[in-house]
Structure 1
Amino acid sequence: MDYSILEQVMRRAALEAGTRIMEIYNAKDFEVRVKSDQSPVTAADEAADALIRASLSEAFPGTLIVTEEESESHVERAENFLIVDPLDGTKEFIRRRGDFTVNIAWVEGGLPVRGVVYAPARGRLFYTRASGQSVEESGPLDPSSPGEIAPIMVASPDNSALRVVASKSHRDAATDDYIARYDVKTLVSAGSSLKFCLVATGEADLYPRLGRTMEWDTAAGHAVLAGAGGQVIRFDDHSPLIYGKPGYANPFFIACAPGAALR
């Protein structure tokens, strides 16, 4: 994989998908349907998925593209593959709360090594450069011309005053019980893969997820966090979270900055 081309293609696809998502988001109303797994889907999910798949297929012919909205892809396997959640945080989108993202990642040898997370309603764009360093791009976000790019890096956690981020739509008693083990300074609720990015930028130290997720939910955020010096590990044994699992389902996990004393 040519990482320079990958960076350009993923960035452009995410921004173009974000533009289409916001057109639907800003409309007076939109239809919400329920998929077979009882999760919601909208025209924005489907339009963004079609746009991203077309961009990736053209740039990387013959490469496996696993995407949430294409159930046929969920049974395909490859050592290296692209994985997409065209609209992560559909519930946030439906409620018009803004915490939704476009996620695109490249998985190589079981790990997401490059990724982009774009939060169009928040105007925040995070991605890994060809070098592997994660950045946040600001200013006018133009698909054809990068704006101001700044490297991002995790913080050094103060274990007597941890900053924790947790799910906005999926937080439960088990998560609250786990967070209660720590000395917490701040606890912020956020939606979608933005939680990974808040750890990556040093705005939070710890993100525990004790609930169901799929690899397309996490791969892009995982890549951004890793490129900022952070880690994503399994909740049960603290081993690295690996990708390409049968069915693409994740175990519980913890995303954090190194130095966080896990309990």
Structure 2
Amino acid sequence: MNYETLTRVMRKLSLEAGDLIMDIYNADDFGVKVKSDDSPVTAADEAADAHISAGLREAFPDVALVTEEQAASHSVDARTFLIVDPLDGTKEFINRRGDFTVNIALVENGVPTRGVVYAPAKGRLFYTASTGVSVEETGAFDKDEAGETTQMSVTTPDNDGLMIVASKSHRDQATDDYIGKYNVKDMTSAGSSLKFCLVATGEADIYPRLGRTMEWDTAAGHAVLAGAGGRVVRFDDHTPLAYGKDGFANPFFIAYAPGVTLQDA
């Protein structure tokens, strides 16, 4: 895999998909439908998925592709693959809360090694550079030429007062009970894969997720966090969260900055 080409293609496709999404976001009708698992899907999900998939298949025809919106891709059996959630945080999108993202990632041998997370409504763009180091790009985004970037790095946590980020749409009592095991300085909520990015930038120390997620929800954020020095582990035994699992469903997990003293489940 040519990582320079990959970074350029993923970045450009995410920005182009963001434009498609925002055109629909600013319209009167999202075209909301309900999928077989009772989760919502909009015209924005479908338009972004079609655009990203076509671009990735053209650029990397020999690499397996898994996307949330294409059920046929969910039977892919590969250790190395591209994985896409064209619109993560559909509920945030429908409710016009802005916390939705475009997620594109490369998984190699079960590990997300490269990824891009773009939040078009918030104007924030995070990705792994070709070197594997994660950056946040600022300013007006040119689709063909990367602008000014800042290298991202997790914070050095203070276990006497941790910054915690939790889900905005999927918060429950089990999550609150687990958070209660820590000394909390402050807590914030965010939607979609932005939670990984807040840990990656040092805006939070830990993000516990005690709820259903799929690999396309997490791979890009996982890659960005790893490139900033962070970790993602299973909630039950604190072993690394692996990818390419049967059905692409994740167990509960914890994303955090090294130095956080993890509490048992």
Q: How high is the sequence identity, in percent, across the aligned residues? A: 71
Gaps of 5+ in 1: none
Q: How does 1:36-185 map to 2 (within 5 A)?
A: 36-185=36-185
The CA deviation at 1:31 is 1.6
Which digits, 9 at most, give the CA deviation of each residue in 1:54-100, with x for residues without a partner? 11000001211100000000011111000000000000000000000
Map residues 187-202 of structure 1 onto 2, 5 A cutoff.
187-202=187-202
Question: 2:139 is aligned with what amino acid?
Answer: G
Letter in 2 for 1:16: E
| Residue 10 in structure 1 maps to residue 10 in structure 2 | yes
Tell me the TM-score normalised to structure 1 length. Answer: 0.99
Distance 1:180 1:207 in 2: 13
In 1, distance between residues paired with 2:170 and 2:206? 16
Give the equivalent residue in structure 1 for 2:21.
Answer: 21
Alpha-carbon distance between aligned partners in 2 of 1:27 and 1:79, rounded to the nearest angstrom = 40
Partners of 1:186 and 1:86 in 2: CA distance: 31
Q: Which whole-Å CA distance do the structure 1 matches of 2:23 and 2:59 have between them? A: 25
Partner of 2:33: 33
Aligned partners of 1:240, 1:260: CA distance in 2, in Å?
A: 15
Q: What letter is aligned with 2:219?
A: A
* Alpha-carbon distance, 1:7 to partner: 0.3
Match of 1:224 in 2: 224
Does the residue aligned with 1:255 lie in a helix, a strand or coil?
strand
| C-alpha deviation, 1:29, in angstroms | 2.2
Q: Could you give the per-residue CA deviations for residues 104-137 of structure 1, whole angstroms, max 9, x where no partner exists? A: 0000010000000000000000000010000000
Point out where structure 2 has 5 or more consecutive residues left out of the alignment: none
Q: Write the letter of the residue equivalent to 1:207.
A: Y
Counterparts of 1:219-258 in structure 2 under 5 Å?
219-258=219-258
Structure 2: which amino acid aligns with 1:134? S
Q: For the residues of structure 2 that align with 1:63 and 1:2, how far apart are their CA atoms?
A: 12
Provide the residue aligned with 2:204 in structure 1: 204
TM-score by length of 2: 0.99
* 1:27 aligned counterpart, secondary structure: coil
Which has the larger displacement, 247-256 or 136-145? 136-145
CA-to-aligned-CA distance 1:174-220 (integer Å, 9 cap, x gap): 00000000010111010000000000000000000000000000000
Deviation at 1:146, TM superposition (A): 1.1
- The code of the aligned residue for 1:104 comes to I
Return the letter of the residue paired with 2:39: S
Matched residue SS, 1:21: helix
Q: How far apart are the structure 2 equivalents of 1:132 and 1:32?
A: 37
Counterpart CA distance in 1 for 2:233 and 2:30 is 37
Aligned length, in residue pairs: 263
Supply the AA of the counterpart residue of 2:255: A
